[in-house]
Chains A and B, each alone.
Chain A
């Protein structure tokens, strides 16, 4: 725990990191409109990068590793969702999925900018782009559910439903983190993820109770996604230490709320939790699905073709 609210507050400027923390202290704040953030108070990735480069926000090694995990999850998901833009079933969905992708990308940029503060081998901070574009596959820390191919719209919605309910629980709890920057990022992210929950829950209901075909596809979508749910909630040594320090929470502690809230929607949709075996996963240790390599190859190709170039 090397960042205190006091030191973070010194960053000042356009986006004061401490604002997010104070703003998140009340639980009501988490449900406030994400679109009504006063621009001057919005926490931007650039503010975090600036605070990191000035040394006013410096994550511990553990916090940096944790931020890297969340950043990679969000980045990989943004990359997946971005593919829907211009391919969605309806113009409104081009916009909605694009918006969710943008939110995820924003979260990724914030987490990665912060993670970069502790990861430089030569002692200097690594930028969000260093981390996104110049790490190889085993260096990524995303879990498998984020890496899964989009599939059809029902698969994308099933993944989005699981992920947004998980992220909502996680970020809600992280707003109380003793690490001011993590708490600040989570406070902004949780408001946006709340909309993602709403979006995916509405689609689960529509698809499950629309036509026979859509119901079949929704059931199939959950069957495809559900083996990867358990990995989201697995604790390990890192989360144990961070939870002990009050900087983060054990993923397993999010499971009860996740099960209850997703269960309510599934019950309304008259769907069962699929009876499938969980996968072992391994993304947190750098053991990834076969899908990630292709995703990274595409994402990184241009940046790697011109190393050191500015864009």
Chain B
């Protein structure tokens, strides 16, 4: 084994593979697994054409498509305020931000497509309620200050989650994350700036900011997923170098960052139990309502029905446009082919 140079083994069965004997197929799988294990051991990268265990492919496809769906559904609570943004500069920033999210959705769907599932299928799964997205987006954006709280806390939590994903073992995902994280850090800063402006504004504005922070705090902490002792998939994802830190580790780190930043905002976090544990050198926070988390996850949150209906509506209203674009492209191809054959 040691003398053998391990090489990437193509994942896609070549046409000849059907004619392979079961022995050959088994040998290729074994070679693929050996290469995969080596990549994991070296903390290197798997690329789309490499052999990978079916469960690895399935896990990634689920995670990346959920991430893409979260970006797309996540456009809605913020798009809700574009028309009412209180200054033209804020309107421009918000539009650009929501546009970025559509872009993130696109890179992520593209990364997921390299695992063999077309975007249309993923979209369909989302609309059919078969695929999940981050449950945070099932909460309503009630006031302008929510644009600040979403940017600061929700995008902040997303960054804490996603920075380690830049090193994910699956190449297209890790690379997509690099760009996503750069843009997310702008988003977080603009959210912070909205809150800063509000908290230093009129008493009503400051109250609006505090109210938004109070409402988004717990849902933002829950974005990191269930506690470690209730997160069955985490261990395998860590073994596959997709996930680098546990849910609780990331959550605690995030709480620490919030605690520093909230002082600058001259606001408070709605949690009296936050403290830095000198023994463990870790931040701790109060109990979270995981029943609520599971309720929202199951589709019983304040906006689940609304968010999905809006996506379905946009998709249905656009069906004739997509059909037209496809038909036109077809006609153009045929015309081109006729020209070539005539020449």
In the bound complex, CA of A86 to CA of B205 (Å): 28
Question: How distant is the Cα of A206 from the Cα of B202 in the complex, in angstroms?
Answer: 51
Q: A63 at the A/B interface (Cβ < 8 Å)?
A: no
Does the CB pair B314–A98 fall under 8 Å?
no
Q: Do most interface residues of chain B lie in helix, strand or loop, or is the interface mixed?
A: helix
Q: Which residue of B lies closest to A87 (CB)?
A: B314
Does residue A88 face the partner (Cβ distance < 8 Å to B)? yes
Given the complex of chains A and B, what is the CA–CA distance between A252 and B144 in angstroms?
Answer: 43
A78 to B89 Cα, complex, angstroms: 13
B190 CB → nearest A CB, Å: 12
We find that the number of chain B residues with CB closer than 8 angstroms to chain A is 48
Q: How many A-B residue pairs have CB under 8 A?
A: 144
Cβ B95 vs Cβ A105 within 8 A = yes
Give Cα A75 to B92, complex, Å.
11
Q: Looking at the complex, which of B71-79, B178-186, B238-246, B271-279 is the stretch in contact with chain A? A: B71-79
Contact of B102 among A79, A91, A306, A311 (CB under 8 A): A91
Q: Which of A89, A92, A93 has the most CB of B within 10 A?
A: A89
Chain A, Cβ-Cβ closest to B94:
A82
Q: CB < 8 Å: which of A94, A99, A128, A213 contacts B320?
A: A213
Nearest to A108 among chain B residues (CB) is: B88
Residue of B nearest to A97 (CB): B99
Interface string of A96-111 (1 = CB under 8 A from B): 0011011001101100
Contact: B328 with A98, CB < 8 Å? no
Contact of A309 among B89, B106, B205 (CB under 8 A): B205
A interface residues, tally (CB under 8 Å)? 50
* Distance between Cα atoms of A105 and B85 in the complex (Å): 12
* Pick from A86, A90, A102: contact of B310, CB under 8 Å: A86
Check: A121 CB closer than 8 A to any chain B CB. no
What are the residues of chain B within 8 A of A87 when measuring CB–CB?
310, 313-314, 317
Partner of A95 from B102, B198, B326 at Cβ < 8 Å:
B102
Residues of B within 8 A of A106 (CB): 92
A-B contact pairs, 6 of them (CB 8 A): A87-B313, A89-B317, A105-B91, A214-B324, A311-B194, A311-B201
**Which B residues have a C-beta under 8 Å from some C-beta of A?**
72, 75-76, 79, 82-92, 95-96, 98-99, 102-103, 105-106, 109, 144, 194, 197-198, 201-202, 204-205, 310, 313-314, 317-328, 331
Binding site for B on A (CB under 8 A): 45, 75, 78-79, 82-83, 85-95, 98-99, 101-102, 105-106, 108-109, 112, 128-129, 132-133, 152-153, 205-207, 209-211, 213-214, 217, 298-299, 301-303, 306, 309-311
Q: Which 9 A-B pairs have the closest CB atoms?
A: A89-B318, A210-B324, A214-B324, A89-B321, A98-B99, A86-B79, A86-B75, A206-B328, A94-B102
